Structure 1
Amino acid sequence: MPALLAASLVVVAALTARELRAGPTAQVLTALTVATGAVTVVLGHMLSTATTDALLSATVVWLAARALVRDDARWWLAVGLVGGVGLLNKHLVALLLVALVIGVAATPAVRHHLRSPWAWCGALVALVLWAPNLWWQASRGWPQLALAADITEEYGTAGQRLGFVLLLVVLLSPVATVLAVRGAARLWRVSALERARPVGVAAVVLVLVYAVTGGKAYYLAGVLPALVAVGADALVRTSTRAGVRRAGVVLALAGMVSWPAALPLLPASVYGGSVLHDVIEDGGEMIGWPELVAQVQDAVDRSGAVVVVTANYGQAGALEWYGTTVPVHSGHNGYADWGPPPDTLAGPVVLVGYRQVPSWLTGCRTVDTIDNGAGVDNEEQGAPVRVCDGPTEPWSTVWSQVRRLST
């Protein structure tokens, strides 16, 4: 599924290039740049909300460009439809839609679209599709806002903001970023592209918003293809055929340089002994799950535990996927909605990943330490495995203390 979504992102990138009046050569160059880029292969390797968000956001940009360039307001209905589906996956699409509105308002040639009934109908469609999600959030005290605040606190430091800029530069590749910057500048300078200028404005707005609020660089994965498309068109128009071929090779190789960090191409032991897992964090987090499950199962077998409780949803997911002989629960983020263990499972309990013993358990003792066997310093490495006598009160009573929202 993630590979198909990533492939669709490449197709949408080429369609966006065509919509922005780029010729076939520039369309191929755009597709090549996006297909080999670091963020595309990472998102195409694992299924997450970011994988779907990149495709849906890129589709929103493509359809918005079609509405603006063709001056056909009926396409705003399609923008609202795709945007509404995207909002059920990730709320970041709302920021993209607002940024596009700002871009349209700032561009006199297309400002009349804000008065179009089609645009307002598109907004209504998006809101109707989003409504179930909004109702769910409101009925539960807006947990997304709490999690967003946690993200801002963790990633809003000066060091993390510098990391945001650096990761933005290598999101596809440094060479592709040069192409995207050239595309953004061209949207401002070339009068023939004035109708598409709101896309460039939206990109700038989103970069600034994410830079200030502690956002992550990959949030922009759906916007970059359009900028790359305009830059690729400029490159084709100003280069010889041989120059374009050389540029294509350079762009592809520049993206592929990151593949050893982005994909499981190297043995885990080699990967763990390098700095590659520091470049793309998710790569290191994919190592060690079978080992963790084996150690937890050993603790269950030796203690006679009747339930496992984990510190985060990744650990719980691994234990569910590879299988354990007892139920697995976690209070982390959305995983908590699967609910607490039955009150009849009062103990013993195997506790996984908690660096500190929580107050809602009694009689805890450390029996093992997680070791992924590859020397990768990921989130699980060195985490304790404990056996506890049981909860201080019935699970249904203490579950509110177990639940937590964090990145």
Structure 2
Amino acid sequence: MRPWGAVGAVLVVQAAVLTALSGRHGFHRDELYFVAAGKRPDWGYVDQPPITPILARISTGLFGETPSGLRIVAILLAMGTVVVAALIAREFGGGELFTAIATALSAYPLVVSHMLSTSTVDLFVWVVILLFAVKLLKSGDGRWWIPLGVAIAAGIANKWLVLLLVAALGVSVLIAGPRKVLATWWLAAGAGVCLLLSAPVLIWQWQHDFPLLTVAAGISADDGAENRVLFVPMQLIYLSPVLVPVWIAGLVRLWRSEEFRAVALAYPVLCVLTLITGGKPYYSVAMLVALVAAGAQPTLDWLRNHRRAVPFAAVAALIGVVISVVVSLPVLPLKALGPVLAMNKEQGEEIGWPELTASVSQVWQQIPPEQRATAVIFTRNYGQAGAIEEFGAAQGLPKPYSGHMSYADWGPPPDSMTGPVVLVGGVDNSSLLTGCRVVLAHDNGRGIDNDEQGTRISLCAGTTAPWNKIWPDLRRFY
């Protein structure tokens, strides 16, 4: 079988496995938020541009508002990531099949393949940018700046993290060359295309005082120290420890190549930028995928010359694949998830949302029927609000409200809603509500210790002022 026929077989297996597992757990909290945001189309949201919510709207519209229906677009993006990674390997001289298999079975790509998130889109867009950058550096043809501009604009329309990658590549080309790719009017043309396509997203952010920057600053302040401590260890884990020698071999290979030295340098530059900004360790994963593509052929050559090492490499690869699959995909029974959640909490965040809605319904039923027309459900975070919005109607619940992220922009309750308040998870300023008492602590009934397990649900008599007046004090950016 020729390399691309074998890559096609990898894609078929990848699609089959991801599809079979896509409905095993429920919606992730972020997916509930994306579904809600997709029903309120806009050029931007507090914590992200519009691409992922748009994809959520399209996927659920075509395939149904279920986890499986939503995740079809995530599976397609995952397959696209594998194809582009193999194309990068081809530009480096071979190893397409090795790269495809390694990408499809690596831990982080598997995590973001199972659910729709901004990271799912980012991983695909970033490897596309890297493919175009490699083509530009290899050919010296300035026309590649146009597709690069389009791809960067797509990244800006999904998450502004792409600017870290662009900065890393730009700095690396300036330092390591070939600088001739910068001395062309095609660069200005590509930048113009990027700005034109990004204009609606940038204008929306400007009109709303750039909330993305506020959210990013909050994340850095809250998690920056932890992110920096974990950064180096996670570089060894995000794909697989088994692949570390492969991407190191790719890094060395590219550094020794004059035409691709900038790609090698871009990885440490990106790492430094991420550490400075307190960003998440996973921001570098797309670069690691490209480095695996560069190291694929040298690894295969080494194995051919050291045949005695092949059985050991095969065993190590098998162990790595098993660990990646178990940690990343919902293949274990719920009662066995405890150790997995210590490494990948996202599986736990897909469990218990209908049960949380049922807990809210229990509290709602304690409101006298004659008061329910003016009563409000208010949640602390968008996951809780998204769950009630998704599952609440079947339990007789009204639409929820929240001050978290873009839910705050979707408006407060009318000031005529002067009745009791079902408070899910509490508020930062308790003086805004009166007569609150905790009715129950939510239990998902599955034995899963996720972020919502134990969430307190209170019943309050009302607010201390009209909703419109207290709404600014209820907004939360993170």
Q: TM-score scaled to structure 2, two decimals?
A: 0.79
Structure 2 residue aligned with 1:14: 86
Asked if the contact 1:33–1:252 (Cα under 8 Å) also holds between the matched residues in 2, the reply is no
The alpha carbon displacement at 1:358 in A equals 2.6
The alpha carbon displacement at 1:396 in A equals 1.8
For 2:121 and 2:289, how far apart are their aligned partners in 1? 15
Structure 2 residue aligned with 1:40: 109
- Structure 1 segments of 4 or more deviating over 3 A? 241-253
Alignment of 1:287 with 2:351, yes or no, is: yes
One-letter identity of the residue aligned with 2:223: Y
Q: Indicate which of 173, 176, 196 corresponds to 1:107.
A: 176
For the aligned residue pairs, the C-alpha RMSD in angstroms reads 1.9
> Residues 152-183 of structure 1, C-alpha deviation per residue, up to 9 Å, x if partnerless?
112222x4422222222111111112211221
Sort the Cα spacing of 1:335 and 1:30 in 2 relative to 1 into closer, same or farther, 3 A: same
Sort the Cα spacing of 1:76 and 1:251 in 2 relative to 1 into closer, same or farther, 3 A: farther
How many residue pairs end up in the alignment? 396
Alignment of 1:31 with 2:103, yes or no, is: no
Q: How does 1:324-343 map to 2 (within 5 A)?
A: 324=393, 325-343=397-415
Alignment of 1:77 with 2:143, yes or no, is: no
Alignment of 1:313 with 2:382, yes or no, is: yes
Secondary structure at the residue paired with 1:90?
A: coil
The alpha carbon displacement at 1:252 in A equals 5.3
Q: Indicate which of 270, 284, 291 corresponds to 2:336.
A: 270
Sort the Cα spacing of 1:132 and 1:249 in 2 relative to 1 into closer, same or farther, 3 A: farther
Q: Indicate which of 110, 113, 134 corresponds to 2:202.
A: 134
For 1:85 and 1:390, how far apart are their aligned partners in 2? 44
Structure 2 portions without partners, runs of 5+: 1-72
Secondary structure at the residue paired with 1:79?
A: helix
Alignment of 1:397 with 2:469, yes or no, is: yes
Secondary structure at the residue paired with 2:470?
A: helix
Secondary structure at the residue paired with 1:375?
A: coil
Sort the Cα spacing of 1:353 and 1:276 in 2 relative to 1 into closer, same or farther, 3 A: same
Q: Indicate which of 167, 172, 183 corresponds to 2:234.
A: 167
Q: Indicate which of 324, 331, 351 corresponds to 1:258.
A: 324
Asked if the contact 2:388–2:399 (Cα under 8 Å) also holds between the matched residues in 1, the reply is no
Structure 2 residue aligned with 1:185: 252
For 1:105 and 1:245, how far apart are their aligned partners in 2? 43
Sort the Cα spacing of 1:69 and 1:248 in 2 relative to 1 into closer, same or farther, 3 A: farther
Structure 1 portions without partners, runs of 5+: none
Sort the Cα spacing of 1:147 and 1:261 in 2 relative to 1 into closer, same or farther, 3 A: same
Asked if the contact 1:316–1:328 (Cα under 8 Å) also holds between the matched residues in 2, the reply is yes
> Residues 333-379 of structure 1, C-alpha deviation per residue, up to 9 Å, x if partnerless?
12222211222222211111127663322211110111122333322
The alpha carbon displacement at 1:134 in A equals 1.9
One-letter identity of the residue aligned with 1:64: A
Secondary structure at the residue paired with 2:423?
A: strand
For 2:255 and 2:330, how far apart are their aligned partners in 1? 40
> Residues 50-81 of structure 1, C-alpha deviation per residue, up to 9 Å, x if partnerless?
11011001100001101111221111110100
Asked if the contact 1:32–1:252 (Cα under 8 Å) also holds between the matched residues in 2, the reply is no
> Residues 276-320 of structure 1, C-alpha deviation per residue, up to 9 Å, x if partnerless?
101112122222212111100111122245321111111111111
Q: Percent identity of the aligned residues?
A: 41
Asked if the contact 1:32–1:248 (Cα under 8 Å) also holds between the matched residues in 2, the reply is no
Sort the Cα spacing of 1:27 and 1:396 in 2 relative to 1 into closer, same or farther, 3 A: same
Sort the Cα spacing of 1:321 and 1:356 in 2 relative to 1 into closer, same or farther, 3 A: same
Asked if the contact 1:236–1:244 (Cα under 8 Å) also holds between the matched residues in 2, the reply is no
Asked if the contact 1:176–1:228 (Cα under 8 Å) also holds between the matched residues in 2, the reply is yes
Asked if the contact 1:40–1:172 (Cα under 8 Å) also holds between the matched residues in 2, the reply is yes
Structure 1 residue aligned with 2:37: none
Secondary structure at the residue paired with 1:368?
A: strand
More deviation, 347-356/205-214: 347-356
More deviation, 60-69/258-267: 258-267
More deviation, 304-313/377-386: 304-313
